[in-house]
Amino acid sequence: MKRLSGILVVNHFLNTVKYQELYEKFLDAAKEYSIDLVMKTNADLLMDMEALKENAGKVDFVLFWDKDIRLAQLMESFGYRLFNNSKAVEICDDKSYTYLKLLEAGISMPKTIFSPKTFGTVKYAKTDFVAQLEQQLDYPMVVKECYGSFGMQVYLVKNRKELLAKLEETAPEPLIFQEFIEESAGRDVRIQVIGDEVVASMYRYSDSEDFRANLSIGGKMKAYTPSQEEMDIAVACCKAIGLDFAGVDLLFGKDGKVLVCEVNSNAHFKNIYDCTKVNAASLILEHIKNRLAKEQ
């Protein structure tokens, strides 16, 4: 078989050690599989549109490790084969779109209500809708910015005063309001799926008062053996969204009910590697290679 070539697309502005480590893992894995993988940033590619168009037929695939959806769509329109595809990245990037997709697929998530759209010029000039929201969701209530990662844009509000302050602070960012799953306070499960298969899982827990289990904000991790139901749900999320690979976060609902918290198209895999020694970068490239071979 001919040697495969691909472009690893990363974000121009995210180049801290934490990100560099992931990029290196992909480049190392490419060597392992004899794939010519070249790293490019979204800025490099966008600023040379001519070359972007011309080179479309010259690589076999794009490992799209960015969330620049406009670039992803542009590349697909030029004929590049993206992993993950632009639609799947877009759905995961916005927690309200993820909710919609999973709802359509009949996958259980915490009860969720979308914020009414507003604009930077007016913000929430009227907050009368809050009374109706309170009839559907109790305090404490989870408020999430639709675009956010590492738990940084996820909040727990205890009363109306805190909710109004959060609205003021975040406007006009789109939000989702969500039922707080008390049984899961400070704990969740991360399941790494690649090619419709569960390859690794970890239990994340916070040993502080924080209700968020994200590792970047102090959460701890342990290896975890998921149940068949948890694995089936994680894979179903990927199928519903059209993902080749993802990190699916699950919550522990009442009476053992499994609820999906969110789905990450570009899940950082360093922690799951440290926890389980499963190298997602390598498995992602293996999946791409197998997938392309099947398509020929």
Ligand X SMILES: Nc1ncnc2c1ncn2[C@@H]1O[C@H](COP(=O)(O)OP(=O)(O)O)[C@@H](O)[C@H]1O
Residues of this chain that interact with ligand X (CB under 6 A) are 110, 142, 144, 148-151, 153-154, 178-181, 184, 188, 211-214, 249, 251, 261-262
**Extended beta strands in 184-254, E state:** 187-194, 197-205, 220-223, 245-252
Question: Residue 178: which of Mg ion, ligand X, none does it interact with, CB under 5 to 8 A by kind?
Answer: ligand X
Task: Let me know if 131 is exposed, middle or buried by CB neighbors in 10 A (0-12, 13-18, 19+).
Answer: exposed
Structure-block tokens of residue 5: 């070539």
Question: Residue 101: which of ligand X, Mg ion, none does it interact with, CB under 5 to 8 A by kind?
Answer: none
Between residues 64 and 252, which has the closer beta carbon with respect to ligand X?
252
Q: Is 230 in the site for Mg ion (CB under 5 A)?
A: no
Question: Which residues partner with 260 through β-bridges?
Answer: 250
Confirm if 93 and 243 have CB atoms less than 8 A apart: no
Q: Is 145 in the site for Mg ion (CB under 5 A)?
A: no
Select from 19-27, 52-60, 111-119, 243-251 the region that touches Mg ion (CB under 5 A). 243-251
- Using the rule CB under 5 A, which residue among 60, 90, 230, 249 binds Mg ion? 249
Longest dimension (CA), the chain: 64
Q: Is 68 in the site for Mg ion (CB under 5 A)?
A: no
Instruction: Please give the distance of CA 91 from its chain centroid, rounded to a whole number.
Output: 9
Shortest separation between residue 57's beta carbon and Mg ion, angstroms: 37
Select from 77-85, 101-109, 132-140, 249-257 the region that touches Mg ion (CB under 5 A). 249-257
Query: Would you say the C-alpha torsion 148, 153, 155, 161 has a positive or negative sign?
Result: negative
**Site residues for Mg ion per CB under 5 A:** 249, 262
